[in-house]
Amino acid sequence: MLPQVKTSSTSMHWGVWLSIAVITLISLIGLFAPVISPYDPRRMEIGISNHPPAWYNTTAKKGLPDHLLGTDMYGRDIFSHVIHGARAAMFLVLAAIPLAALIGIVVGVIGGWGNRLVETILIRLLDIISAVPAFMFAVMVILALRGTATGRVYGGLITLTLAFALINWVGLARLIHASVLKVKSQEFMEASRSLGAGTGHLIFRHVLPHLSYLVIVWVVNNTPAVILLEALMGYIGIQILQVNDGSSFQDLSWGGLILSGRTQLNRNPFILLAPTLCILAISMSFSTLGEYLQERINPHFKSNNLM
Amino acid sequence: MGCIIIPVQTLIFFLNRTARVVLILASVELLVFLLIHTIPGSPWDAPENQIKAMGNISIDRSAMERRNVYYGLNLPLWRQFTRYLIGDTHEDGIFICGVVCGNLGPSTRQLGRSVQDILFSPPAGRSAWDSRFGYTVRLVSYAFAIVAVLGIPLGVGSALWYGSRFDRSVSSFFTFITSIPVFVLGLLQIMIFASWLKWIKVLPDWSDPKYWLLPTILLAVVPLANMIRLTRASILNAMSGDYIRTARAKGLTRSRTMWRHVLPNALVSILTFLLPLFAELLAASFIIEGIFGFPGFGREYWTSIGNLDHAMIMGITFIYACAITFANLFLDTTYRLLDPRMRAQ
């Protein structure tokens, strides 16, 4: 016999609370990073390069009590770098997600609302962009932008933001486009239109509120993707500035930590540990939250087992 | 003479779709062409191209000029693009056809070889499966098999026992494993199996099938999680249809309802996920191949993006775009042939 549907799986269980706690904690760390980090993450000390974490001694080097997570190849403090990485990730998410969401919503609504020609053009555009592998596209955008003046603003933050926004708006635009078409054909729209409502009123008062759950779920699901993309760029070894004049975004981000951890893998594998665990915690929190939201606020989600 | 009558409507449909495919592929090439030409630097900046005769004397100017003429780098941008796409008369007066004839152009990194030669021709005395293309296709196919064979049953199980311990443990396991960045998983695999257990070598001989296990599993993990989620959602969706209530009300047993009504309905949406899955795997394989140094398209891509090998980058993107676009075309067409509701539109 098939069991009855348990409502507990969609109610607010401890996993969701834990996820919210983790996200809040990391945001707070990011917010107060300059206050709580023990060192300046950019300060180099050549004498103490590649030390393991404080509690660990290798045959070659001992852990230093002053540097909790050890030091990297230039003797920079990893603990401070991880703390500042939370701040960097926060800035990146706050810049990239709204930009991608804005482009996605605008294109999706225009595609769903506009006439046949506009719709066809926009759908072809989406087809073209999705025919290039997203990650390759991002790499090419970064390589093209990093030498320009725009690319150097905030140590390359703008470059990463644009690269992420340019590859990720497509998915949201498709979702929005499909649901605008669905909402457009419903009776209350006809009613509202016959009462004399203009296009602006229809879009802002009827269409967009219907799409809000889509956007919320999209934001929650894509936030870890931004952080992952930045980390992956670090892993592949792509410098976000062509010439690092000491202001590079990667000097403060988890991606940069992964970049240096990977080059020092045989000397100090512990560099990779902390950023990986942070990314793991963030990704898991956001996926748990995303699943919960998907089942809870999606008006079309069906789980009523009729069997 | 038995001839098949093709309705005019279907003919128009096919012409329309063919035009669309050509348009998309040409636009992808244009997009990538413009992007890589905004990347500063030239193909000759890489160290191995700075042939040093003595001390710091680099390649001389006239040789550089000759190379630029040979590769068409002295032409204006639009002519470089048409030369790549359609073809152009070279300096010796011979017309050489471009992408439209299947010629992906000469590589600037591996001098003297064309891109299609590097990607598709196997090393001497080996079968076609040992070419770059063969390696990638095999890797992607193995991962695809894992995803299909494991993903569908696990998803169906999760939906059948919705909310049970099985459902929750499958979903939390895959949430956990997909939250770890894929390159870290790869590094962990290499550290555990190569450095500690010494089962494999860090730089293995890829003709030995046992080394294929790690990259294949790594490639399959994320799509497998997606597959399970999608299968579960479509079964749940099918189980809440009104016809299920009807079937149960008329006295059909639970298992019969499952086999006759739920599974066939859910399978349609699962099948539509399988083709895009192939494209997803192909895109992910670029990263996996980069991690393991796997001799497929991905490794070729990473070395050529660093050296600005324009023809190679455009060639690889072109093949990927072809795969995606033809997969979508195939999906569209089969939909149209199978589902009468689509034909009416």
How does pLDDT run across B209-253, given as a tens digit for each residue? 778 888 999 999 999 998 998 898 888 888 887 888 888 888 888
For chain A, say whether B258 makes contact (Cβ under 8 Å): yes
Closest to B45 measured CA to CA, from B108, B114, B129, B93? B108
The model's pLDDT over B84-111, given as tens digits with 9 standing for 90+, comes to: 888 887 777 788 888 888 888 888 877 7
In this prediction the ipTM stands at: 0.82
Contact B39 A140 (CB under 8 A): yes
User: Has residue B337 got a pLDDT over 80?
Assistant: no
The model's pLDDT over A18-33, given as tens digits with 9 standing for 90+, comes to: 999 999 999 999 999 8
Lowest-confidence segment of B36-40, B59-63, B293-297 by average pLDDT: B59-63
User: What pLDDT is stored for residue A10 in this prediction?
Assistant: 47
Average pLDDT over every residue of A234-253: 81
Contact B36 A140 (CB under 8 A): yes
Average pLDDT over every residue of B314-333: 87
Average pLDDT over every residue of A88-101: 93
Average pLDDT over every residue of B16-25: 89
| More confidently predicted of B140 and A147 | B140
Residue B106 to residues A96, A125, B70: CA-CA distances in angstroms? 38, 29, 9
User: Has residue B44 got a pLDDT over 80?
Assistant: no
User: What pLDDT is stored for residue A297 in this prediction?
Assistant: 72
**Among A128, A221, A282, the residue to mutate for chain B (most B Cβ within 10 A):** A128
Q: Where are the domains of chain A?
A: 99-307
SS (HEC) of chain B? CCCCCCCHHHHHHHHHHHHHHHHHHHHHHHHHHHHHHHCCCCHHHCHHHCCCCCCCCCCCHHHHHHHHHHHCCCCCHHHHHHHHHCEEECCCCCEEECHHHCCCCECCCCCCCEHHHHHHCCCCCCCHHHCHHHHHHHHHHHHHHHHHHHHHHHHHHHHHCCCCHHHHHHHHHHHHHHHCCHHHHHHHHHHHHHHHCCCCCCCCCCCCHHHHHHHHHHHHHHHHHHHHHHHHHHHHHHHCCHHHHHHHHCCCCHHHHHHHHHHHHHHHHHHHHHHHHHHHHHHHHHHHHHHHCCCCHHHHHHHHHHHCCHHHHHHHHHHHHHHHHHHHHHHHHHHHHHCHHHHHC
User: What pLDDT is stored for residue B264 in this prediction?
Assistant: 81
Lowest-confidence segment of A77-91, A105-119, B52-66, B287-301 by average pLDDT: B52-66
| More confidently predicted of A305 and A274 | A274
User: Has residue A282 got a pLDDT over 50?
Assistant: yes
Q: Which of A74-83, A95-104, A113-122 has the highest mean pLDDT?
A: A95-104
Q: What is the distance between the alpha carbons of residues B210 and B200, in angstroms, rounded to a whole number?
A: 8
pLDDT band at B193 (very low <50, low <70, confident <90, very high): confident
User: What pLDDT is stored for residue A69 in this prediction?
Assistant: 86
User: What pLDDT is stored for residue B146 in this prediction?
Assistant: 94
The answer to whether the beta carbons of residues B26 and B291 sit under 8 Å apart is no
Contacts of A137 in chain B (CB under 8 A): 35
Q: What is the distance between the alpha carbons of residues B135 and B139, in angstroms, rounded to a whole number?
A: 6
pLDDT band at B139 (very low <50, low <70, confident <90, very high): very high
User: What pLDDT is stored for residue B56 in this prediction?
Assistant: 60
Contact A144 B282 (CB under 8 A): no
Rg value, chain B, Cα: 25
Task: List the single residue in B with minimal CA-CA distance to A127.
Answer: B24
Contact A291 B286 (CB under 8 A): no
Check the CA dihedral A47-A52-A53-A57 and report its sign: negative
Contact A141 B187 (CB under 8 A): no
User: What pLDDT is stored for residue A305 in this prediction?
Assistant: 57
Q: What is the distance between the alpha carbons of residues B206 and B61, in angstroms, rounded to a whole number?
A: 41
User: What pLDDT is stored for residue B339 in this prediction?
Assistant: 63
Q: What angle do CA A45, A47, A51 make, to 5 degrees?
A: 90
What average pLDDT does the structure give for chain B?
82
Q: Which of A116-130, B38-52, B261-275 has the highest mean pLDDT?
A: A116-130
**Among A143, A264, A268, the residue to mutate for chain B (most B Cβ within 10 A):** A143
Contact B40 A147 (CB under 8 A): yes
The model's pLDDT over A256-269, given as tens digits with 9 standing for 90+, comes to: 898 888 888 878 88
Closest to A220 measured CA to CA, from A92, A88, A87, A97? A97
For chain A, say whether B25 makes contact (Cβ under 8 Å): yes
Q: What is the distance between the alpha carbons of residues A69 and A277, in angstroms, rounded to a whole number?
A: 13
> Which string of DSSP letters, residue by residue, matches A178-244?
HHHHHHHTSHHHHHHHHTT--HHHIIIIIIHHHHHHHHHHHHHHHHHHHHHHHHHHHHHT--SSSS-
User: What pLDDT is stored for residue A104 in this prediction?
Assistant: 94
Closest-CA distance, A148 to chain B, in angstroms, reads 9
CATH number for A99-307: choose from 1.10.3720, 1.10.287, 1.20.140, 1.20.5: 1.10.3720
> Which string of DSSP letters, residue by residue, matches chain A?
-PPPPPGGGTS--HHHHHHHHHHHHHHHHHHTHHHH-SS-TT---GGGTTPPPTT---SS-PPPTT-TT-B-TT--BHHHHHHHHHHHHHHHHHHHHHHHHHHHHHHHHHHHHS-HHHHHHHHHHHHHHHTS-HHHHHHHHHHHHTTSHHHHGGGGHHHHHHHHHHHHHHHHHHHHHHHHHHHHTSHHHHHHHHTT--HHHIIIIIIHHHHHHHHHHHHHHHHHHHHHHHHHHHHHT--SSSS--S--GGGTSHHHHHHHHHHTTTT-GGGGHHHHHHHHHHHHHHHHHHHHHHHHH-TT-------
User: What pLDDT is stored for residue A302 in this prediction?
Assistant: 53
